[in-house]
Amino acid sequence: MKKVKLLALILVVLSSLALILTGCGGGGGGGGGTGPTPGPGPTPPGPTPQATSVNISGSATGLSSLVGSSLKAQQPQGSPLANATVEIIVKDEKYNKEIKTTVLTNQQGLFTASISGLKEDSYGYVVITVIKQGFADFSKRIDFEKPADINISAILDAVSTSIATRDDAIFEASTGKRVIKFGLFKTAKGQVVKVGREVELRKQHGEKPTLEVMIPADTIPSDVKTLIARLNTYDPSIPKDADRFPGQFVDSDGNKLVSVGFDFINITDDTGSNLGALVAQAIKAGKLKKSQGASTTITRQIPPGVCKNLLRDVACEETDTKGRCKDGKVKEKNDPNDGFQVPVYTYNPRNGEWVLLGIGTLDVNGDGVFNENDTNLIGDLNNDGKVDHKDYQKYCKDQGDLGKYLYLIIEITNEDFLANWWNLDYPLIFEEPKELCLEATFKDDSGNPIEGVYASLYDDDYDPQSFSNVWGSTGSDGKVTLKTVKTVSDAEDNTDRSATLYYWDPINYQSVTETVTLGESPNCTKKTNTIQKPQLCQVEGYLKDDQGNPLGNQYVYIYS
């Protein structure tokens, strides 16, 4: 048993810790810039922009399960993730330059990277992705108007994992084919993935999976004998889950999005090679032909808390050869006989944007197929003389109150498993969307601006959800402007401006939440937060073994 007298040793380590915490500065602004615009007439050339560099740093923490329902639960409760891979992509949009680097976290889960090659007038965005085996990826995009340091807190959730072999394939009556099926079920202790017959047995006993993936066996390359599924589901009506949303709530065309649900789906062989990549390679080598009518199917439960996010019934304007929306374009559709349809996106970690893949159809009665029985259940529930998205919103909520859920059936191609994140979403269809905003300034108790404060806004009233989450990081002036678009019309909700501001305190190393009232652009609410520096204290001590002999070269740390 080691005995410690706190007298003299830890003072040096405490000073080092203070340097770590204050040295992880950063910033990046809250929105993409467009650069300075010269005035009328000839403009004399200004000074040549100087080269500059920034530091991107932060911490990675792993949580063993999805617990809690508040961002307050985000204060690190898990373990620091050592040797996690941190992929950083900086896009300098002014000079059309991309800078990439990869670093590993240390034993305390900390990382830092110096990014050079920017100029002082550069603007663009940074995508930070943290990857660790056994956890869902963390990925955020932060736009910047000028180069500045960035400091983030990355919290990764443990994934549920299961392994299937070809012997686990079962016959699926709805397709007439043998399929490998994975089902993610919620339990009292968290989430668990079941395979094949186990999925069907649970369903026969009344358990419905939150997420089900069904892969036709004849679309899997013959030399792939084992599939490993790593899955996690997220409910965007829960603020903690919503903050895990990768990238930003925006698609590749710049449309603002509102989420119905999102998932981490990673399916590989036993060597870790992605299923989509294996399928693409097999087709290219002539070892596999795409079977007609043999699409992989994903069935996703719609949480009752997001029923208000069923905004529009939509359809593709055009489809490509894979049946996906061409050029990411959708149109409104008002034919109830075709069922209610929801856009489905996949995440691009290179630019932090969501790419529209295709359309999913609501399985209203939850029997695993869409047919006329589903459309017959929906009527004019709002008594306004028509059947539209408001009727589906009401039906969705009423069924959730009864413990019955709606499901979305999505047909995809195996190549689409190249992406790990899937999102059920809507591009906002308003002629003139209103923008709500907050300009936050962070200073220390001496009045100095604090760079690199990672901050986000989320709606603290999710019925209805009035706006999507948004995040950013302070620049060298200690300011960040967080802008978000209203997701409901004024007729539905014209008064809700209340939001929760969440930020990571890089000095005291803790998360903070508070309620704020947003303004409407260009009259953003202005708010200043002062972060108190911790008072220095002296702790001294000796470290000895159980025989009383001094122990040298030992790692010692202190925390509050």
Give the tens place of pLDDT for each residue, 148-202: 888 888 999 999 999 999 999 999 887 788 999 999 998 887 889 999 999 999 9
Mean pLDDT score, 287-310: 81
Mean pLDDT score, 253-265: 88
Mean pLDDT score, 204-226: 92
Mean pLDDT score, 203-224: 92
- The strand pair at 525-531 and 435-444 is best described as parallel
Pick from 12-26, 39-53, 296-310, 533-547 the range whose average pLDDT is largest.
296-310
Mean pLDDT score, 34-59: 70
Does residue 285 have a pLDDT over 50?
yes
**Would you state the pLDDT for residue 287?**
82
Run of H or E including 372: helix 372-375
**Where residue 77 falls among pLDDT bands split at 50, 70, 90?**
low
∠ CA 505-510-516, rounded to 5°: 60
Of 475, 474, 476, 496, nearest to 484 (Cα)?
496
Pick from 21-35, 128-142, 270-284, 545-559 the range whose average pLDDT is largest.
128-142
Of 162, 167, 177, nearest to 214 (Cα)?
177
Does residue 10 have a pLDDT over 70?
no
**Where residue 94 falls among pLDDT bands split at 50, 70, 90?**
very high
User: How many other β-carbons are positioned within 10 Å of the β-carbon of residue 368?
Assistant: 17
Spell out where 383-509 has E strands. Answer: 406-412, 421-427, 435-444, 454-459, 470-473, 479-485, 498-505
**Mean of the per-residue pLDDT values of the chain:** 82
Annotate 512-555 with DSSP letters as a single string. Answer: EEEEEE-EETTB-EEEEEEEPPPPP---EEEEE-TTS-B--S--
Q: Which residue has the higher pLDDT, 330 or 298?
A: 298
**Where residue 462 falls among pLDDT bands split at 50, 70, 90?**
low
- Backbone phi and psi for residue 204, each to the nearest 5 degrees, phi listed first: -65, -25
**Would you state the pLDDT for residue 46?**
66
pLDDT digits (tens, 9 = 90+) for 359-418: 999 999 888 888 888 888 888 888 888 888 889 999 999 998 888 899 999 988 888 888
Does residue 560 have a pLDDT over 60?
no
Does residue 43 have a pLDDT over 80?
no
**Would you state the pLDDT for residue 73?**
36
Does residue 2 have a pLDDT over 80?
no
Tell me the H-state helices in 72-205: 197-204
Judged by average pLDDT, the poorest of 33-47, 96-110, 388-402 is 33-47
Residue pair 168/490 in contact by the 8 Å Cβ criterion: no
Pick from 74-78, 107-111, 375-379 the range whose average pLDDT is largest.
107-111
∠ CA 440-528-511, rounded to 5°: 70
- Backbone phi and psi for residue 239, each to the nearest 5 degrees, phi listed first: -55, -40
Q: Tell me, what amino acid is at 60?
A: A
**Would you state the pLDDT for residue 326?**
81
